Structure 1
């Protein structure tokens, strides 16, 4: 089983990119929350534990998504490890069970953060069970799936914020909720932008099929702009708050490339650069706030 899981990780979950993403996700949300509080902050052991939890949780999500999308992947992505028979469903379920138990144990004693993490894992497992048992939702319409999938990311963002609150003894604030929303919107930008082909070919899932090309592009752009706006509103209209605007250069570049070069798909590198640079800027804003305090 170990060998099959190694093949799964190699094919579906390259560790280094996910490690970087989860480190910046945890650090960015925590740093921005500290800046919103005007609280002196520096990365520490608590943040490392939060990032490790996110990394394992993302592995669990990837495994459950591959189980849920098996029929679709057999038609559209037959080279994926589960669709190709390189790993078994039972292997992935074992991975999910062990991983979930490990991160819940690691977060024991973190108060509300533990409950949010448990709720996210239970919700995610419920989605997969309902889909496997009743094949619902039985559609490739991504807009039908979106309201079901967004709570997974929302609960993870809320978990990171609650972990920050617990570790630094900070209260829940309206600005803190704006921080959670800023990070969630940045993640939603990636969700929309990576599924924008110029022409949709059956049976590919795409927001273009549901919103049209202008509509899908507009939503992708709006999520990025609103993320920056929420970050600025959370921190305040100070110089360091306006740093949140800088990562918008990446989706602007992507839009220019997509239109000017008539690319077949919305370019991936600027999309990934946007979300990673947004989180990196949020870390910088948190550190600058601590330095100015």
Structure 2
């Protein structure tokens, strides 16, 4: 058992480093909750406390679960294109990864069941859907090989997690359901899709690689990458309405739009890169996601003025 623990620790350190996955979970939850506080009507007060920390932990565990399942789902592809990854090279086994899935699911239940049975059920639905995708890709070649079809069936995993954050926000604040919550959820979709399209956009067609540019060309893939970032910025304007903010909070209200600088930098570096298979630089794509979420959270703190609890 100790050997299994060591191998799993090494696997997560390599394939799901805490500095990336924990940071993403923290920023996603804080930004989405902040945006919800700005658009949800009523007197419910947004508070940063134990429920928020529990939700960050829940989202982080779900991200780890996704990583573990993807490693198994992509094993055939990785044997050919990424043989150095842990599963193809034999440093971890499928059985050990499935053990990790069970532990992660149990920890997720612990973090949700004391808050709301609905949160537990929603989380289990998301985890079950992630597992369903493995069978779907094995059964359907069009889903497995069609990158846009694959995105269409796999993105709901992220949407369900955003829905989980919304349900957690409702449970913590007492806010009722309202259509306005769809705007922050859509905003998060655009932020994620910018990164998704960016990391799979290349200067040229690469046979066998899972690239959006293989399907619609470089210009089309760049258009989707930039378009998603612009759509996220437009939705942030709709959520924050910085033109209505005055005083010291005004600068913070415009902060999310400054993340577009990362998109500009990424586009410049991509345009100047060697055309021999170069992809959109990962750093600016990740930078946009992180800085946008930081800006949205800071804007929400400044505009919504929530109470802070522990």
Instruction: State the TM-score, normalizing by the size of structure 2.
Output: 0.88
Instruction: Mark the CA change 1:90 to 1:292 in structure 2 (over 3 Å): closer, same or farther.
Output: closer
Matched length: 292
Name the CA distance, whole Å, in 1 between partners of 2:161 and 2:306: 29
Q: Pick one of 159, 163, 168 that aligns with 2:164.
A: 159
Instruction: Mark the CA change 1:19 to 1:248 in structure 2 (over 3 Å): closer, same or farther.
Output: same
Instruction: Say whether the 8 Å CA contact 2:136–2:143 is kept in structure 1.
Output: no
> What secondary structure sits across from 2:298 in the alignment?
helix
- Displacement of 1:219: 0.5
> What secondary structure sits across from 1:82 in the alignment?
helix
- Displacement of 1:40: 4.6
Q: Pick one of 251, 259, 271 that aligns with 2:271.
A: 259
1:106 to 2:114 alignment: no
After superposition, what is the alpha-carbon deviation per residue over 1:69-97, rounded to whole angstroms, capped at 9, x for unaligned?
00000111111101111100011111111
Instruction: Say whether the 8 Å CA contact 2:193–2:228 is kept in structure 1.
Output: yes
- Displacement of 1:137: 4.5
Q: Pick one of 11, 15, 26 that aligns with 1:8.
A: 11
Name the CA distance, whole Å, in 2 between partners of 1:285 and 1:190: 22
> What secondary structure sits across from 1:164 in the alignment?
helix
Name the CA distance, whole Å, in 2 between partners of 1:138 and 1:156: 22
Name the CA distance, whole Å, in 2 between partners of 1:89 and 1:195: 27
Instruction: Mark the CA change 1:137 to 1:94 in structure 2 (over 3 Å): closer, same or farther.
Output: farther
Match of 2:300 in 1: 286
Name the CA distance, whole Å, in 2 between partners of 1:117 and 1:228: 29
1:19 to 2:33 alignment: no
Which is further off, 235-244 or 138-147? 235-244
Name the CA distance, whole Å, in 2 between partners of 1:145 and 1:96: 22
- Displacement of 1:33: 0.9
Instruction: Say whether the 8 Å CA contact 2:206–2:214 is kept in structure 1.
Output: no
Instruction: Say whether the 8 Å CA contact 2:143–2:149 is kept in structure 1.
Output: no
Name the CA distance, whole Å, in 2 between partners of 1:292 and 1:21: 22
Name the CA distance, whole Å, in 2 between partners of 1:87 and 1:8: 7
- Displacement of 1:61: 0.3
After superposition, what is the alpha-carbon deviation per residue over 1:87-124, rounded to whole angstroms, capped at 9, x for unaligned?
00011111111211220232114254333222211111
Name the CA distance, whole Å, in 1 between partners of 2:224 and 2:143: 24
Q: Pick one of 260, 271, 274 that aligns with 1:248.
A: 260
Unaligned runs of 5+ in 2: none
Instruction: Say whether the 8 Å CA contact 1:196–1:206 is kept in structure 2.
Output: yes
> What secondary structure sits across from 2:116 in the alignment?
coil
> What secondary structure sits across from 2:55 in the alignment?
helix
Instruction: State the TM-score, normalizing by the size of structure 1.
Output: 0.93
Name the CA distance, whole Å, in 1 between partners of 2:284 and 2:204: 20
Match of 2:234 in 1: 229
Name the CA distance, whole Å, in 1 between partners of 2:176 and 2:49: 19
Instruction: Say whether the 8 Å CA contact 1:182–1:230 is kept in structure 2.
Output: yes
After superposition, what is the alpha-carbon deviation per residue over 1:163-202, rounded to whole angstroms, capped at 9, x for unaligned?
1111111122222110011011101111110111112322
Alignment of 1:141-156 (within 5 A): 141-156=146-161
Instruction: Say whether the 8 Å CA contact 1:250–1:274 is kept in structure 2.
Output: yes
